[in-house]
Structure 1
């Protein structure tokens, strides 16, 4: 007797599957390949985003990849290796506000936006994606500058209020040693996001006092104490601060400014 898998005799189950596929409605068959193509394109873009900088990623364009990924997916390498947070992070902002009536400018106090985010996520198992925008931005800044040398980090402290901040990229690239172009590009992307967040928050917090001219942000980390050190908390560990200069306020529309209000209000009366 000939076995079913012997050449010349088709597998009955396979043959039945093929007959079923041939009897699919024409519309279903027509949708198959477009859906497959969409899945492949999506997978390719995700791969480009989570992978290090490559010629393929550069060919597609950093901005195009970022526009697709953010803010909808927020994919990064940690989706493959989730781990508990081992540091406490701050993302503080302040602004220079011009009072048109008094004809003077005022430097505001520092405000930590992550305090606001802690108010949003505390006791909320399903917070909105916007509940972590400052924390994610601080993490990206820290990751991007981790390989920068002392000279590059000193350039980060320079202010760009009248001078285009794009010149900062040129100065960072010109430094010998330290972080390379990929890390510098990541920093500039995070810097633009941080400036935008600082501007939107400043307009909501201090905008009624006058025109927000310039904003500044700073970040810090504190490591979690050892698990066997029961008497210490994260507030007792040494804070490592990272300084960045003043930036010209981002030109936001009224609608964009208003979109920051729910983010700030969710955290409670913290301002």
Structure 2
């Protein structure tokens, strides 16, 4: 049993690094889902570029209750939930934290300043971000059906070390995306 598990693990890692071939092209989704994000390559391993800001991603929900009454939730800090889940854990898995951060970064990169997607990749990145958020909050919020989501990022510069002469960061900035409608299709496969 252990030997077969080790063999599957080694095969998946090998296929990730192997040149493109028939086996990897047919099974790319399976290989990627196994390898990412826990075993993904990060070429910055030997020359890391530390983050210069703290990002927090949040969401608020528009729901529809009995009689068609719509409500808007308070902001839900998804990043804080991720941090709370790994804090104090001797062997934390950062899968959810990485998934949310990568989805946000990709969406931000593929949307212009007017929040319009830059081509097909922008549409895909936005859809992926919305699905990651919906995976976290579910189909319903406080018993009501979710009809739309609004996602936002808060960026705070990391303060300089105390031993430097650099001043404290002066601002926190925000990026609030427009409301995105939620349909049954958004939950497909979640």
Q: Which has the higher strand share?
A: 2
Distance 2:172 2:18 in 1: 35
Matched, 1:251 2:184: no
Match of 1:213 in 2: 147
Match of 2:82 in 1: 117
Distance 1:72 1:155 in 2: 31
Counterparts of 1:164-175 in structure 2, within 5 Å, are 168=117, 172-173=118-119
Structure 2 unaligned blocks of 5 or more: 1-6
Contact 1:94 1:216 (C-alpha < 8 Å) held by counterparts: yes
Contact 2:12 2:34 (C-alpha < 8 Å) held by counterparts: no
Match of 1:88 in 2: 54
TM-score using structure 1 length: 0.50
- Secondary structure of the equivalent of 1:153? coil
TM-score using structure 2 length: 0.67
Match of 2:160 in 1: 226
Q: Which has the higher helix share?
A: 1
Paired residues, what number?
177
Matched, 1:238 2:174: no
- Secondary structure of the equivalent of 2:178? coil
2:63 to 89, 97, 120: 97
1:214 Cα deviation (Å)?
1.3
- Secondary structure of the equivalent of 1:228? coil
Match of 2:3 in 1: none
- Secondary structure of the equivalent of 1:225? coil
Distance 2:17 2:127 in 1: 22
C-alpha spacing 1:106/1:39, structure 2 compared with 1 (3 Å): same
Contact 1:214 1:246 (C-alpha < 8 Å) held by counterparts: yes
Contact 2:59 2:77 (C-alpha < 8 Å) held by counterparts: yes
- Structure of higher CA gyration radius: 1
- Secondary structure of the equivalent of 1:70? helix
